[in-house]
Copies of this chain bind each other. A is one copy, B any other.
Amino acid sequence: MQDGNSDHAARVSQVLDELRPRFGNRIQTGLPIRQQHANTLTWLPAPAPDAVVFAETADDVAAVVRACAARKVPVIAFGAGTSLEGHVNAPLGGISLDLSRLNRILAVNASDLDAEVEAGVTRNQLNEHLRDQGLFFPVDPGAGHATLGGMASTRASGTTAVRYGTMRDNVLSLTAVMADGSVVRTARRARKSSAGYDLTRLLVGAEGTLGIITSLTVRLHGQPETIIAAVCPFKTLEGACNTVIEAIQLGLGAARMELVDEVMMHAFAAHAKLPVEEAPTLFVEFHGTPAAAAEQVALFRDIAAGQGMLRFEQAEKAEDRTRLWKARHDAYFTVRGLRPGAESFATDVCVPISRLAECVAATKADIKRLGLIAPIVGHAGDGNFHVQPLIDPTDAGEMARIAEFLERLTARALAMDGTCTGEHGIGMGKIKYMAAEHGPGVAVMRAIKRALDPDNILNPGKILPAG
């Protein structure tokens, strides 16, 4: 609890005084840098931290946590600032602990298909490092400069999760500094273990509220011999969704199965000048041996043909695949062309895939009824989709409609036994849905938080409702 602003300021000063000999000008208190360390990819208010401290080693992280623990000052882990629900905001002030300089790749164990990396290593950096070894790290949430520590903390996933899993599945072990300053390595490098509570999975998705990740061991995969990308527009949304369901039931094993609605396709056609149909479209990708990939393509086309596929365009060479998928990759930014000058944000829900078509259709009806502009892109193979409203935050009436839309979107997903977020996380933006989704589970989470961080110094005001 804060005892008042002046006391808080005094405690922050004490922490910074204690850290200054070690960190020198790696402590920054200027407003621009503090604001930069509050979340920028969100429409939520973004209160800034009191100071930013740049860690360069795991010991630096432990030093900051111990100093903050002693004075009960909040400490907020910061990676690349690409989270979408206000995860790195500082609603109670405190220290933003910037981990981007913890960017060493510590080991690549090719025989074991794993790598040990510091928390600030980005996924692009890791994949560039691995390229010559024929390996890759599959989790792809979009932002190439997202850090692996941040991705673990938000349980990120993205386009390839349907085949390779999410961060939950691709983190073997973590090293984290806990609220009491102890340093815990959650697991060994073995592929599996039944030795006690799964601390790895407890910290993955905890958004820095239970411990600050300093390094991770992640699973790698061999680069597939063949990659075939394809784009496939459909007569109807249902046809596209049913194609995905059938493909998964048949164990097709597509590496990506992305759904883009006709509004987003219109943005690609009209504003990115891409030669695409303005129809619900699947962007798919197949990995394997040449024969296996070709077999998957043939099977997929068979299924899609029965579901109202309009066209099937495929590409195999890297540059052709990039061109073919350009629309999907640029979606987050292209969408802004639909309403120049507007602001935009992305939200996500996830439902059992049998309910995906129905959920997307009802969501689109709501968008229409409320007069919003909000294209939809989905990781259809997971039942996960994003809505990206284009908004004028100064228009109170519109913002009220947006608020109504979001409430209804989440309620709809929960009513279908889905979740309020498939991959973005709770942060500050979705705390209000936690009780509806988890019921008595919230009390269990709160008990864990209190046990591991009794003074609530680790990223306070995130995930858990107050109380």
Contacts and interface: CB of A to CB of B under 8 A. Distances in A.
Contact of A382 (B192, B383, B452): B192
Contact of A447 (B113, B354, B414, B452): B452
A297 to B, nearest CB: 13
A197 B206 CA distance: 6
Contact of A184 (B111, B292, B299, B439): B439
A384 interface: yes
Contacts of A339: none
Contact of A289 (B295, B423, B452): B295
B441 A452 contact: no
A445 B200 CA distance: 12
Nearest to A452: B447
Contact of A198 (B204, B353, B383, B420): B204
Given A201-B198, A201-B201, A444-B199, A157 B192 contact: yes
Contacts of A188: 414, 417-419, 437
A187 interface: yes
Given A168-B198, A434-B195, A448 B452 contact: yes
Contacts of A352: 109, 111-112, 114, 189-191
A422 interface: yes
Contact of A205 (B112, B196, B414, B443): B196
B221 A251 contact: yes
A221 B169 CA distance: 17
A205 B198 contact: yes
A424 B194 CA distance: 6
Contact of A196 (B111, B299, B438): B438
Interface in A123-140: none
A183 interface: yes
Given A112-B354, A251-B224, A417-B189, A194 B441 contact: no
Contacts of A201: 168, 198, 201-202
A351 interface: yes
Interface string A356-374: 0000000000000000000
B249 A354 contact: no
Nearest 4 pairs of A and B residues by beta carbon: A201-B201, A451-B451, A111-B354, A193-B419
25 contacts: A156-B194, A168-B198, A185-B441, A190-B351, A190-B413, A192-B382, A192-B419, A193-B350, A193-B419, A193-B421, A194-B419, A195-B425, A195-B426, A196-B434, A196-B437, A196-B445, A197-B205, A197-B206, A198-B201, A198-B202, A199-B441, A201-B201, A289-B295, A291-B291, A447-B451
Given A111-B353, A168-B201, 6 more contacts: A109-B352, A168-B198, A190-B419, A191-B383, A193-B422, A198-B198
